[in-house]
Copies of this chain bind each other. A is one copy, B any other.
Amino acid sequence: MNRVINFNAGPAAIPLDVLKQAQEEMLDWNGTGMSVMEVSHRSKEYEAMHNEAQDLFRKLAGMGPEWKILFLTGGASTQFFMIPMNFLHSGRKATYLVTGNWSKGALKEAKRFGTCDAYTTENPDGTFTRILKPSEFSIDPNSTYVHMTSNNTLFGSQWHYWPETGSVPLVCDMSSDIFSRPFPADKFSLIYAGAQKNLGPSGVTVVAVKDSFLQLAEEQAKLPTMLSYRTHADNNSLYNTPPCFSIYILSLTLKWLDKNGGLEAMQKINEEKGRIIYSAIDASNGFYRGPVEKDSRSLMNVVFRLDTVEKEELFVKEAKARGIVGVKGHRSTGGIRFSMYNANLVDNVAKAAQFMEDFRKKYS
């Protein structure tokens, strides 16, 4: 077995201990004599795991029982329309804070359902190189919610403060940095995240929604049954068959997180990883150039350029020869991207920084 250093942006690295446990239990999960994939979602064994994962999610997030934890499918892209479909009814309006490609996509879907105020940091060339400053937006108190995306995988930026929204509920797409650092759950009303970056594999999307906000949702009868949050909240995400295996890997990942110190420990580790890589960029005398403004830099997705596309291709190739994969930037942006989610250890990041240094010496 020759495991690589995996900087994929998502699906991404999963803790080795999680994979080993899944491997060990593949033919006989929890003494059932079946794989977890073969167990009924109505069985007490499955439900115990499902409920335990919800409880652990609440514990790690510092959420009380007023939060419903839903396990849905369709990725964050499905939440882009489910949120306005459920909450932007009856002539209501919402406010969107647009700081990257994904929040722009969320706004596009919301406009189908109602009026949206939008504030953006999009540059004239379509790129995003920073998040919004507090002075650059104001929240209409008549907004039903404010939507933001805490971290931008494509452009490598991240919110390092939480916007003040007054009494307006805050909705956040945390797909790419959830549980990488503590956050004040009380400030939010709905948080969602595709699991395939910091929480496990693709195939499950976690939606945490506060009871008080759920009260504002459209009546269940007015929506297709599967598109109403109420359906899933009322049935503990077991209205129909959930994506059991993805939830199982999520549950193991949450246990791993908890065992390793929870969100505060992750924050320290992620800050250390960020320090290592951004130092390598900043100390390179322009050999590596990070386009994102310093106070908006992401600790999850580090994006940088070399001076030619050819050199970037060479970088990708030589990284691979060193066992470092997934470093090619998003197809729409080019460049280099290191995605360093929780499962990427400091040691791996240090090796990547060493490679950057060696590559620079060889080619500068």
- Interface of A toward B, CB cutoff 8 Å: 1-4, 6, 8-14, 16, 19-20, 22-23, 26-28, 32-35, 37-42, 73-78, 80-81, 85, 108-109, 112, 194, 196, 200-204, 224-227, 239-246, 249, 323, 325-326, 331
Instruction: Specify which chain B residues have a CB less than 8 angstroms from the CB of A243 in the assembled complex.
Output: 73, 202-203, 243, 246
The residue on B at minimum CB distance from A241 is: B202
Nearest chain B CB to A37 CB, angstrom units: 4
Q: Assuming A2-B28, A202-B245, what are 17 further A-B pairs, CB within 8 angstroms?
A: A1-B33, A11-B241, A13-B34, A14-B37, A19-B27, A20-B27, A26-B26, A73-B243, A74-B226, A77-B226, A81-B226, A194-B241, A196-B241, A201-B244, A203-B204, A203-B246, A245-B245
Copies per complex of this chain: 2
Bound: A331/B201 CA distance, A: 31
B74–A3 touching, CB < 8 Å: no
A240–B33 touching, CB < 8 Å: no
B38–A244 touching, CB < 8 Å: no
Q: Which of A32, A202, A246 has the most CB of B within 10 A?
A: A202
A78–B226 touching, CB < 8 Å: yes
B203–A245 touching, CB < 8 Å: yes
Question: Known contacts being A202-B241, A244-B202, is A34 close to B10, with CB within 8 Å?
Answer: no
A-B CB contact pairs (8 Å), 20 listed: A3-B33, A8-B34, A11-B40, A11-B244, A19-B26, A22-B26, A33-B323, A34-B325, A37-B200, A37-B249, A73-B73, A73-B74, A73-B78, A73-B203, A74-B240, A77-B225, A77-B239, A196-B241, A243-B243, A245-B245
Bound: A42/B9 CA distance, A: 10
Nearest chain B CB to A45 CB, angstrom units: 11
Bound: A24/B8 CA distance, A: 22
Nearest chain B CB to A307 CB, angstrom units: 25
Bound: A19/B25 CA distance, A: 10
A245–B246 touching, CB < 8 Å: yes
Instruction: Specify which chain B residues have a CB less than 8 angstroms from the CB of A331 in the assembled complex.
Output: 42
The 4 closest A-B pairs by CB, nearest first: A203-B243, A81-B224, A4-B33, A73-B73
Instruction: Specify which chain B residues have a CB less than 8 angstroms from the CB of A196 in the assembled complex.
Output: 241
Instruction: Specify which chain B residues have a CB less than 8 angstroms from the CB of A74 in the assembled complex.
Output: 73-74, 226, 240
Bound: A245/B234 CA distance, A: 28
Q: Which of A2, A9, A20, A27 has the most CB of B within 10 A?
A: A27
B241–A10 touching, CB < 8 Å: yes
Bound: A75/B3 CA distance, A: 34
Instruction: Specify which chain B residues have a CB less than 8 angstroms from the CB of A204 in the assembled complex.
Output: 203
Instruction: Specify which chain B residues have a CB less than 8 angstroms from the CB of A77 in the assembled complex.
Output: 225-226, 239-240
Partner of A225, one of B4, B81, B85: B81
Bound: A40/B12 CA distance, A: 7
